[in-house]
Chains A and B, each alone.
Chain A
Amino acid sequence: NAGVTQTPKFQVLKTGQSMTLQCAQDMNHEYMSWYRQDPGMGLRLIHYSVGAGITDQGEVPNGYNVSRSTTEDFPLRLLSAAPSQTSVYFCASSGTPNTEAFFGQGTRLTVV
């Protein structure tokens, strides 16, 4: 059982480049989310989805887009990378609001 799979694990981008962080889960979970983790800031919610075709903004959505065309996949797109987007990104999924969120292994992104 793979759980939540994030790719890539590491990425270096130049300012202005775009890229997509991939997230896939094989647990048939409805709830999926993207967080960024910065030192001293905890995990901050970027975007989330409560089911296929439904997405919404979290606390820090600027500069990021998401889509949810299937239950399994929830990619995060950086439109034009900026150094302020240097962070560790986590994707998470849960089956119900009352159960734990399962996290991917994280993506360490550096924008130079």
Chain B
Amino acid sequence: AQKITQTQPGMFVQEKEAVTLDCTYDTSDPSYGLFWYKQPSSGEMIFLIYQGSYDQQNATEGRYSLNFQKARKSANLVISASQLGDSAMYFCAMREGQGGSYIPTFGRGTSLIVHP
């Protein structure tokens, strides 16, 4: 079974609008962390944001925020005020603690296209 599920293969958004990229996860480990990465067409992996399972507040980094709903095992990425440069692949990842390897497992990704 997949540990990280990203159900949106592709998303489109108008420039300056907000967009939510979905991510659900599966773990029985009480200690885990969730990451989002961006991969532009140039291929490099760019870290965006991190949320720990014990963090009480949703993580935010500039225009990126992580909508963490622990009971629903959901960790959606919200990008506010989209820019053309946000067009890229976005990957959600999870690392498990005590029962896992501490190495992130990735979802299949969502391709985001921002229209002018």
Which A residues form the contact surface with B (CB < 8 A)?
31, 33, 35, 40-45, 48, 50, 56, 58-59, 88, 90, 92, 97-103, 105-106
Complex: chain A residue closest to B49, CB-CB: A100
Query: Which residue of B47, B95, B103, B108 is within 8 Å of A42 (Cβ)?
Result: B108
A50 and B101 in contact (CB under 8 A), knowing A35-B106, A90-B45?
yes
Q: Which residues of A sit under 8 angstroms from B97, Cβ to Cβ?
A: 97
Q: Which residues of A sit under 8 angstroms from B109, Cβ to Cβ?
A: 42
B1-54: which have CB < 8 Å to A?
4, 6, 9, 33, 35, 43-45, 47, 50, 52
* Secondary structure type dominating chain B contacts: loop
Residue of A35, A58, A97, A99 most packed against chain B (CB within 10 A): A97
Task: Report A84 CB to chain B, min CB distance, Å.
Answer: 18
Q: Which residues of A sit under 8 angstroms from B101, Cβ to Cβ?
A: 48, 50, 56, 58
Residue of B9, B43, B103 most packed against chain A (CB within 10 A): B103
Residue of B9, B45, B91, B95 most packed against chain A (CB within 10 A): B45
